[in-house]
Amino acid sequence: MTLIKSISGIRGTIGGKTGENLTPLDIVKFTSAFGTWAKQNSENHKVIVGRDARISGEMCSQLVSATLQALGIDVLDIGLSTTPTVEIAVVEENAAGGIILSASHNHKTKKTQSPMKSKPPTSSKKQPVIVKDLSTKKNPKGGASINFSRRNI
């Protein structure tokens, strides 16, 4: 499956070539873009991370959490969860946003990384486009420096 980048996130088959399938490098790249966006657009640098029960879920979740923490973002990893649960947690925790790692109804080798923000989706249709644009730049304007201190909350 080709790596699909859309308004609702990124989708692809785990493994294979970077940029063609969903590889660890792709996950780090898009998570970094989302984290950069979240830091630039929110005073609260906290992101909720949830995942489904697929075998790749824990690995993807660890990559996402470590990438966000390296950007200086506090991560609240709620583990196994649904998309609505992550959405509610974003609001309840007043987080900058959330990421759900889920393949929904797709085959077990497929995975989706869907970013969400603290305000309802209609508040800014530009966010997914900005994240997609930031993910293609080597050093995005205003990009956060990487700090490897671990900050689990």
Q: Catalytic site residue 104?
A: yes
Residue type, 22: L
46-51 and 97-102 beta bridge pairing: parallel
Query: Distance (Å, rounded) from C-alpha 129 to C-alpha 34?
Result: 11
Q: Is 41 exposed, middle or buried (0-12, 13-18, 19+ CB in 10 A)?
A: middle
Q: How many residues can be counted in the chain? A: 153
Q: How many CB atoms lie under 10 A from the CB of residue 78?
A: 17
Neighbours of 54 (CB within 10 A): 19
Q: Of residues 6, 104, 123, 124, which has the active-site annotation? A: 104
Question: Apex CA 103: angle with CA 114 and CA 140, to 5°?
Answer: 30
What CA–CA distance (Å, rounded) separates 12 from 122? 26
Q: Which residues does the annotation mark as catalytic?
A: 104
